[in-house]
Chains A and B, each alone.
Chain A
């Protein structure tokens, strides 16, 4: 009864009261916004804004000298219909990603699973061994020595000694070998953050679940893996997938270091190296932005699909 007039004034001043509520909420939460401000400012400046700029510029012709000129979807048309090298780059990227992505993901899990059963000291050592390549800086330069084209290259010298070949193979000059070598090197250094996440995930699976599973008729390790371990680790599996997919589709540093830019007959050319070619060498920024946008859609799309699939694990 006494509330009635109060409610009515509230109704009349609704916009104002919402404003007031917003102000109160802002005041109450001010420390949180203050704490987040520096990070978010830089995050928007260097991550969100660039994606938007990239999207906009992909519809323009822009060479950094003149103002961007709107040309519609011409960049995309050129990429897919007139740029044979881009098609090669897409093909190489997909081959690299389809081989190294799932393979390194599964190897990371397999090794984590096997290592998890070792004694703590040995486990510590094995984790170090498998994780080290991904943090070893530019140690992949060594693969250049292994696949050096003269007969002192380690691969060549071993093959010659074993009598498989008579003269050295030009590993990094022969388009047929470049992609397999890149896959090998990429696999070598791909056991990264996701591998550690798997190790950690396996350690926190509740051991009682295994006993309960044994009672419920789980007979071997494979069933144990599928029905208990994997569902328990689903959050880590999804996190690991994001890391591996992003890495697998963004391959660029290794091809440039090992095969060069441009590589022989573009055999080591990927979407990202194509992007670097146009963005940092030719300065065709509109075109490069179109490549970046395609890469963005490809990465995000693949991630979303895989996330959907992984949600079904163990169900």
Chain B
């Protein structure tokens, strides 16, 4: 008789405590259930692992000795860290008639030139679109928005024809040169779109004050607007960098010593199981650079994205 009497209040009190906790929380915030708290966390953990595991694994593979790469069952982190794979990679590509440094240089050159040009040109074009009215403005921006709506693959083939046609002009070379990748990158629509939206946040009064002080439009753009939109051009840098860093030259570049790193990676991976170690090293190199740049600039990128909306 006494036992249940003792036990029931205990049980109830625990239950009541949980209930009370949630009743209190409900007053503070929107009502929440226990599942509503645990569910999202589980979801984030499961999908976070799905998202991160392959990347961490790829990266860690580059530092494993060969026997550990082939070890079964596979382990996430290497037991004996080694840089051998990178050494193998340099030897491997050093033996080929195009040195590894050449591929790396090509990728770095394409990426840096393309990104720099894009940031500059897109900002220059974004400033008038964001802060001034002139005939043709609406039409131009509408064209930019529509061009966001189809992928660059649509223009792949005519682009090739345009480039080979322009190659007839003396001194102009597109096909089989880096400019085939770099120049189109200057005019990607996404960068201009984001930059224009971000520039709209620059206060117009500031520009007017500068104008009264006698600054010309070019000076206003370069000395006042550009420093204020730093988050936006860092975002453009990330987006372009990531896109250009992974380009393999596609159909545009066919001379071996002009090919970028991504192409070399494809070759190493295609060579099959014998080069697994080197392939892991290349994958790590390809992976770490864009991710690092994003790590440094995440907050600025999100700041830019808060103005990405479409009306």
Contacts and interface: CB of A to CB of B under 8 A. Distances in A.
Interface in A203-233: 203-204, 210, 214, 218-221, 224, 233
A272 B153 contact: yes
B6 to A, nearest CB: 38
A42 B150 contact: no
Nearest to A57: B158
Contact of B44 (A45, A126, A234, A288): A126
Interface string A42-76: 11011111110110010000001000000000000
Contacts, number: 283
A47 B187 contact: yes
Nearest to A196: B305
Q: Is the interface of B mostly helix, strand, loop or mixed?
A: helix
A201 B47 contact: no
A164 interface: no
B239 to A, nearest CB: 7
Nearest to B157: A279
Nearest to A253: B246
Contacts of A221: 30-32, 36
Given A136-B287, A139-B286, A249-B151, A39 B186 contact: yes
Given A35-B221, A154-B74, A235-B311, A132 B306 contact: no
A50 B128 contact: no
Interface string A176-209: 0000000000001001010011011101100000
B92 interface: no
Interface string B90-128: 000000000000000000000000000000011011011
Nearest to B242: A135
A138 B262 contact: yes
Given A39-B125, A47-B189, A234 B309 contact: yes
B89 to A, nearest CB: 15
B48 A42 contact: no
A214 B305 CA distance: 28
B21 interface: no
Given A111-B44, A138-B246, A130 B51 contact: yes
Given A135-B242, A299-B150, 4 more contacts: A49-B158, A53-B161, A137-B245, A193-B239
7 contacts: A39-B186, A50-B162, A129-B52, A130-B48, A131-B294, A135-B291, A141-B283
Interface of A: 25, 29, 31-33, 35-36, 38-40, 42-43, 45-51, 53-54, 57, 64, 107, 110-111, 114-115, 117, 124, 126-133, 135-139, 141-144, 146, 152, 154, 157, 161, 188, 191, 193, 196-197, 199-201, 203-204, 210, 214, 218-221, 224, 233-236, 238-239, 242-243, 245-247, 249-250, 252, 272, 275-276, 279-280, 285, 288-289, 292, 295-296, 299-300, 303-304, 307
